[in-house]
Amino acid sequence: MAAIRLGDKAPDFTADSSMGTINLYDYLGDSWGILFSHPADFTPVCTTELGTAANFKPEFDKRNVKMLALSVDGAASHNEWIKDINEVQNTTVNFPIIADEDKKVSTLYDMIHPNADNNLTVRSVFIIAPDKTVKLTLTYPASTGRNFYELLRVVDSLQLTAYHKVATPANWEHGNDVVVSPAIPTEEAKGMFTKGVEEIKPYLRMTPDPTT
């Protein structure tokens, strides 16, 4: 299976999960989605990640983002593991974990990288827009846990730039100034962005976040 690229349609699938049978497109509906894979159940880094993800769920909910995890173990194993996660991370895992024992979904999403490990998924992240296109892919090695603050920051940027003709600069966070799209002439930008446009260079114009 070829790697999934930005702008591709997220492949649909139906699979068992810790919360019963899930169809991706039905589950997401008109929402954004974040799909993230874990190498295996009862592994230490994944335990911290899923507990953190559960604690971050209210923030993803605010942004209309539905969460969906995946591991190559079965649903019964997931549900036993969730008990540990809830205990040691003092949380409640409140989103489905896809059971992918046959590696069907992992293969569909190119989550198994043989040079890293033939059997376990890498830590993949896919952010999916309401039109089911893939807007972000991230791949971490099995040894490195994800930063969920960064994933929220990326969602904020993707949602802002989907609806406004701006881009977000390095280290941007919600509420910071944004970059005016290079396709918009400066005079037109001044009419469009009523909070003001600062021209640093002809190709680099900044304006306050239009959503704040």
Point out the residues that are catalytic.
Answer: 46
What's at 83, amino acid-wise? Answer: K
CB of 40 closer than 8 Å to CB of 47: no
What is the maximum alpha-carbon separation in the chain? 60
Q: Tell me the residue type at 52.
A: T
Are 122 and 39 in contact by the 8 Å Cβ rule? The answer is yes
Angle at 24 between CA 18 and CA 25, to 5 degrees: 145
Q: Directed axis angle between helix 148-163 and helix 44-62, to 10°? A: 30
The number of beta carbons lying within 10 Å of the beta carbon of residue 50 is: 27
Q: What is the CA radius of gyration of the chain?
A: 19
Give me the amino acid identity at 96.
Answer: P
Joined together, the tokens standing for residue 38 give: 């874990």
Sheet containing strand 65-71, edge to edge, reads: 97-99, 65-71, 32-38, 123-128, 134-140
C-alpha span between 192 and 186 (Å, rounded): 10
